[in-house]
Structure 1
Amino acid sequence: MLTGRCFCGRVRRRSAGPVLWAGHCHCDSCRRACSAPFTSFFGVPRDGVTWTGVLDEALTSDGKVRRQFCGQCGTQMTYQAARWPEETHLYAATLDDPGSFEPRAHFHWGEKLPWVKIADDLPKYAGSADGAEPVLC
């Protein structure tokens, strides 16, 4: 069972998994939404996540992406995209045990900030990994 919460504890979640993928995202929109140089996510089946508390949400102008967050403390809780209608992407930093997160790849590597230095052996993808080959670094 994967459990997590926002900073203030008003919003909590539980997911029985399975974890469909896990990794670090370097895209501009994730950086701006989280105020961080990159963020770490994992995907789970959308219908397997249960929530307590109230999530607020923001939609992109085209309505294809919904980001949910705690309206009290502002913690980002989900990323949901029309591209993956059966998945919810959850932030690894909101796990009750974030040390249990095991990233498997880097996504949107082409948007990585130049001052972020990463020396791991994880595959690196120019965009999302859907059918893509890793880029050579």
Structure 2
Amino acid sequence: MTDAIHEGGCLCGAVRYRTTGAPNDTNICYCTQCQKQTGAPMPAFASFPLDRFEMIRGEVGAYRASDFATREFCPRCGSALFWRRDGGDYVSISLGGFDDPSGFPPPKYEIWTAHRIKWLDTIPGADSYPGDN
């Protein structure tokens, strides 16, 4: 997966992006902000260093739900796309936005499990954290 190229985009196709190589990690976030933004009980992400991420097409909108990160989305269709920590050197990309999300490894960890929907089980083999890791 070190030479892999992964492409993805939003629901309407206005935004497209590309990553290269293996992700730093894949994870599940159960925080209420991620749940609200995506409408999903267990949003999944793949994180890549910024130097292995490029925008191919389109512009994103941004929203700050916290004082330390920005959430980016397609302003046309509303697809949740990226999460970026202020001053960070990586981008967390919504796994479902990739053209082939099944090509990624299973989640390495799950965070904010204190907010996990009660009927969801833990992810086998993933480290679990009640808050941030």
> Which TM-score tier does this pair reach, normalised by the shorter chain?
0.7 to 0.9
Q: CA deviation at 1:125?
A: 1.7
Q: CA deviation at 1:99?
A: 1.0
Q: Paired residue for 2:129, among 125, 128, 136?
A: 125
Partner amino acid for 1:101? F
Q: Paired residue for 1:40, among 13, 38, 44?
A: 44
Partner amino acid for 1:34? T
Residue 58 of structure 1 corresponds to 63
Partner amino acid for 1:65? A
Q: Kindly report which structure 2 residues correspond to 1:1-137, keeping only aligned pairs within 5 A, or say none.
A: 1-51=5-55, 52-60=57-65, 62=67, 64-82=68-86, 85-102=88-105, 103-118=107-122, 120-129=124-133
Runs of 4+ in 1 over 6 A off after TM superposition: none
Number of residue pairs matched by the alignment: 127
- Counterpart CA distance in 2 for 1:17 and 1:79 is 19
- Counterpart CA distance in 1 for 2:24 and 2:89 is 11
- Counterpart CA distance in 2 for 1:61 and 1:18 is 28
Aligned residues of 2:33 and 2:65 also touching (Cα < 8 A): no
Q: CA deviation at 1:122?
A: 2.1
Q: Extract unaligned runs of 5+ from structure 2.
A: none
Partner amino acid for 1:91? S
- Counterpart CA distance in 1 for 2:97 and 2:118 is 26
TM-score, length basis structure 1? 0.84
